[in-house]
Structure 1
Amino acid sequence: MTEVPLRRALISVSDKTGLIEFATALAGRGVEILSTGGTAKALRDAGIAVRDVAEVTGFPEMMDGRVKTLHPMVHGGLLALRDNAEHVAAMEAHGIGAIDLLVVNLYPFEATVASGADYDTCIENIDIGGPAMIRAAAKNHAFVTVVVDTEDYADVLAELEATGGTSLAFRQKMARTAYARTAAYDAAVSSWMAAAQGDAAPRRRAFAGTLKQTMRYGENPHQQAAFYVDGSNRPGVATAVQHQGKELSYNNINDTDAAFELVAEFDPADGPACAIIKHANPCGVARGGSLLDAYRKAFDCDRTSAFGGIVALNQRLDAATAEEIVKIFTEVVIAPEADEAAKAIFAAKKNLRLLTTGALPDPRAAVTAYKQVAGGFLVQDKDTGFVPEADLRVVTKRAPTAAEMDDLRFAWTVAKHVKSNAIVYVRDGATVGVGAGQMSRVDSSTIAALKAGRMGAELGLAETPAKGSVVASDAFFPFADGLMAAAEAGATAIIQPGGSMRDDEVIAAADAAGLAMVFTGMRHFRH
């Protein structure tokens, strides 16, 4: 059977967006509408004829609404095979009417959790009857159309207009969406319960997302890709408003997320900050007296790599900074806000994407990160590690000066966002050299120093900006050679986790070179 006419619908929704318009259109086509509770009241208040489910089942809603649709008169109407003589006979014998269309969106469990509600309130917002009906209707999609998303109302009406009913292909699509919704709902409940019970590694774990964007391709043109959001509403690329420019690519989204998470480490109350990202690694990060100053300092770390990069700002984008950014090709600019003058400047650059988020993500908030490997997933807490200055341990004879300590803390923050092995040179609140992703820490140190020297020559400086800088290493120096490479480049102070079997040897080398060195006791590997 292909087209199925819609004669009877059951509508029970928490989200009443578009409800009245949709139900009015159904009623206009002669569809009988069954409903429950608040949905029935909303329909009646709008003048739409509706029959209470309680009238159909012969039982009133009870137990504070926990029991209302769990009844054979409802589930029989959803599950009966219309081409099965025994099913049809059972319907006739028990007075069960067929339900051709089920419209249900579930209790707002995810929103309740996000609001910070207490345990009992969250439990009460776990829907039972809704998922049961959705699964029943989806299973019987040969005869029943199921709708779980308000954005599908228009498609249902268009299908009715085109075919006079619903096609099998349409019902299959709706069923697929319905099962994904109940799976996501159960995943949200199980994840919340695991967290509420303090279980960091539950025996079974589910992940879910909602499609935000299909893409032309992934990292490379031969890879298919799509972007899904998890509903957490963490400020960033997933929640941003795009003001202009073409659609974001897979790589754009990945790099923009990296840039914004990095710049969010710097509290706007402490001053403007800018991060420029290329291939998920920082090519320049700086603080400044103004946003323009911060951008210029970040840009001067590696002007070559900044071309075609991502710019993230921790404060409202202004016109002066926008004018500077557009002097070179930039893929994406992301900021909490942007003033109208800045938007007007960017408007002339049709390929530049401007995103605003309304807020910065909290760099200390608990976030679950996962990565697919062959046959499974790795799951961990996002690296929100932070070491207060009071917990930093000076291990050399010379302690850092106040200025060096400021730069050391800045360098340590940036190193957390650089792919391992990571070495970051910083001077006067700005990166001057970044070595990322090398198999050897010595190579990372050498590359960072080389890039600093090259940039210094390009800027016309008399000496490398690495001279007088400080250096951060994301993990301990297993030997003194990496530290000595930094010292030879002109660094005066080092920050690193410590913990190597050769710490004493590395400390002695630092003392011999007149370096100040600080241990954090925390590692920041990033793979």
Structure 2
Amino acid sequence: MELRYGMNPHQAAAPTAPVNPDRRPVRVLHGQPSFINMLDALNGWQLVREASRSLGRPAAASFKHVSPAGAAVSGPVDEVTAELYGVDGDSVGTLTSAYLRARDADPKSSYGDFAALSHPVDTELAELLTSVVCDGVIAPGYAPGTVERLGRKKNGRFLVMEADETFAPPTYEARDVFGLRLTQDRDQLPLTAALLDRVVGGALPATAVDDLLLGMAVLRYTQSNSVCYVRGGTTLGIGAGQQSRVDCTRLAGAKVDTWWLRRHPAVRALTFRPGIRRQDRINWQIRFIEGDLTPDESRRLAQVLSVPADQLDPDQRAQWRRRLASLAFVSDGALPFRDNVDHAHRHGVGYIAEPGGSIRSDEVEDACREHGITLARTGLRLFHH
């Protein structure tokens, strides 16, 4: 397999070969991937395959820069998502619903994503993929005609990759860094509900178990430190790659607030002039929600709206946020301080899964009790770099 280039365009890439010459995990059906495209595709495929196997439903992920912007299993598509993408939320297929939910988790970050699907792409999903800004897709198969349809996207540069769902990876994995080859066992411990048996603060309902399992699958393929908030089989906020865990918690929590405030009547009432593109509408909605517009942004927002916007005051925002509850929160590493719990509580978290074992685990447990949060100690760290 020939790559276009390495991590950056000025880095040439050598031909990519499978570890086992007799078995390829993926093959390129259309286009020519870059180094990062391959990383996104391989990580995305592993995530959706694991999530689908754990939860027994089709799964999708929207990958950007080797971490998911969003991930979801199939489920209801709400009015906001359906309106944004011009679909009938009551009639879309299960795989399409999974991708719509994954992409809408953080639609600003999903711009130019790499889509990963656990099941073969059908004509409905292929049609949707042609209408969004997306760089490529990986799935275990494609309905007749869909590869050709997708291949015309981006002037023929859209990437279509097929994963072998029967492929079993090697027991060991290696990486070359600065002249050293680092080798380790592959992280392949199954993610099952048994990991959530050790709980504090009450039993976990089945819906919370599913959300926590999805969160664990997501973080297994997200750059650490990482946390995620999940509700109803969809990630509402993912925090990745921060040196401080509480920074991950706060960043992901801000994404949760943005997702929820996009459903506020004042945001839904924003009326854009004809011809304003979908991504521009998304970006302006988010800037309106964030509320710290520069003078130039305020002027430009007024120009793209056909009706002046009603502002959201702090009380309205706070009242709306309080309506979001029963979220699941997963951390790839032990929570080192109770501040993570305090911040998670502010965003409606009712259930937490984390490895446990920090020197302040008692303080973390006390914070969960104070906030009425059920805490599951998995004993499993899920770092990914």
Q: TM-score, normalised by structure 2?
A: 0.75
Determine the C-alpha separation between the residues in 2 that align with 1:304 and 1:465.
Answer: 23
Asked if 2 retains the 8 angstrom alpha-carbon contact of 1:421 and 1:441, the reply is yes
- For the pair 1:497 / 2:349, whether they are aligned, the reply is no
- For the pair 1:327 / 2:131, whether they are aligned, the reply is yes
Q: Check 1:299–1:429 CA distance in 2 against 1; reply closer, same or farther (3 A cut).
A: same
Once the two structures are overlaid, the 10-residue window that deviates more, 258-267 or 314-323, is 258-267
Q: 1:521 aligns to what?
A: 379
Asked if 1 retains the 8 angstrom alpha-carbon contact of 2:198 and 2:378, the reply is no
Q: 1:250 aligns to what?
A: 35
Determine the C-alpha separation between the residues in 2 that align with 1:505 and 1:308.
Answer: 41
Aligned-residue identity in percent: 33
Determine the C-alpha separation between the residues in 2 that align with 1:447 and 1:360.
Answer: 37
Structure 2 residue aligned with 1:416, among 205, 220, 223?
220
Q: Which amino acid aligns with 1:240?
A: R
**What secondary structure does 2:16 align onto?**
strand
Q: 2:335 aligns to what?
A: 477
Determine the C-alpha separation between the residues in 1 that align with 2:23 and 2:327.
Answer: 35
Structure 1 residue aligned with 2:180, among 367, 373, 376?
376
Determine the C-alpha separation between the residues in 1 that align with 2:159 and 2:104.
Answer: 22
Q: Check 1:445–1:358 CA distance in 2 against 1; reply closer, same or farther (3 A cut).
A: same
Q: Return the offset for 1:328.
A: 1.3
Determine the C-alpha separation between the residues in 2 that align with 1:428 and 1:411.
Answer: 11
Q: How do residues 12-411 of structure 1 correspond to structure 2 at under 5 angstroms?
A: 212-213=1-2, 215-232=3-20, 236=25, 239-242=26-29, 244-245=30-31, 247-267=32-52, 270-289=56-75, 290-349=94-153, 350-359=156-165, 361-362=167-168, 366-411=170-215
Determine the C-alpha separation between the residues in 2 that align with 1:358 and 1:464.
Answer: 44
- Pair member with larger Rg: 1
Q: Return the offset for 1:456.
A: 2.8
**What secondary structure does 2:333 align onto?**
coil
Q: Check 1:521–1:358 CA distance in 2 against 1; reply closer, same or farther (3 A cut).
A: closer
Asked if 2 retains the 8 angstrom alpha-carbon contact of 1:432 and 1:466, the reply is no
Determine the C-alpha separation between the residues in 2 that align with 1:231 and 1:475.
Answer: 30
Q: Return the offset for 1:460.
A: 4.4
Determine the C-alpha separation between the residues in 2 that align with 1:235 and 1:428.
Answer: 35
Q: Which amino acid aligns with 1:432?
A: L
Asked if 1 retains the 8 angstrom alpha-carbon contact of 2:18 and 2:24, the reply is no
Q: Return the offset for 1:360.
A: 5.2
Q: Which amino acid aligns with 1:303?
A: P
**What secondary structure does 1:453 align onto?**
helix
Determine the C-alpha separation between the residues in 1 that align with 2:263 and 2:68.
Answer: 19
**What secondary structure does 1:331 align onto?**
strand
Determine the C-alpha separation between the residues in 2 that align with 1:479 and 1:258.
Answer: 30
Determine the C-alpha separation between the residues in 1 that align with 2:132 and 2:9.
Answer: 25
Determine the C-alpha separation between the residues in 2 that align with 1:353 and 1:375.
Answer: 31
Determine the C-alpha separation between the residues in 2 that align with 1:241 and 1:464.
Answer: 46
Asked if 1 retains the 8 angstrom alpha-carbon contact of 2:45 and 2:163, the reply is no
Greater RCO, CA 8 A, separation 6+ = 2
Asked if 1 retains the 8 angstrom alpha-carbon contact of 2:70 and 2:103, the reply is yes
Determine the C-alpha separation between the residues in 2 that align with 1:282 and 1:381.
Answer: 23
Determine the C-alpha separation between the residues in 2 that align with 1:445 and 1:344.
Answer: 42
Q: Which amino acid aligns with 1:524?
A: L
**What secondary structure does 2:174 align onto?**
strand
Asked if 2 retains the 8 angstrom alpha-carbon contact of 1:497 and 1:520, the reply is yes
Q: 2:279 aligns to what?
A: none
Determine the C-alpha separation between the residues in 1 that align with 2:49 and 2:121.
Answer: 15
**What secondary structure does 1:356 align onto?**
strand
Q: TM-score, normalised by structure 1?
A: 0.55
Q: Return the offset for 1:491.
A: 0.8
Q: Return the offset for 1:216.
A: 4.4
Q: Return the offset for 1:441.
A: 0.5
Asked if 1 retains the 8 angstrom alpha-carbon contact of 2:191 and 2:213, the reply is no
Question: Unaligned 5+ residue runs, structure 2?
Answer: 76-93, 266-319
Moved segments of 4+, more than 4 Å? 459-466
Q: Which amino acid aligns with 1:510?
A: C
Asked if 2 retains the 8 angstrom alpha-carbon contact of 1:307 and 1:330, the reply is yes
Cα deviation, 1:472-503, whole Å, max 9, x if unaligned, reads: 00010111111211111111100000111111
Once the two structures are overlaid, the 10-residue window that deviates more, 481-490 or 422-431, is 481-490
Q: 1:38 aligns to what?
A: none
- For the pair 1:512 / 2:370, whether they are aligned, the reply is yes
Asked if 2 retains the 8 angstrom alpha-carbon contact of 1:472 and 1:494, the reply is yes
Q: 1:28 aligns to what?
A: none
Q: 1:66 aligns to what?
A: none
Once the two structures are overlaid, the 10-residue window that deviates more, 247-256 or 263-272, is 263-272
Determine the C-alpha separation between the residues in 2 that align with 1:258 and 1:464.
Answer: 35
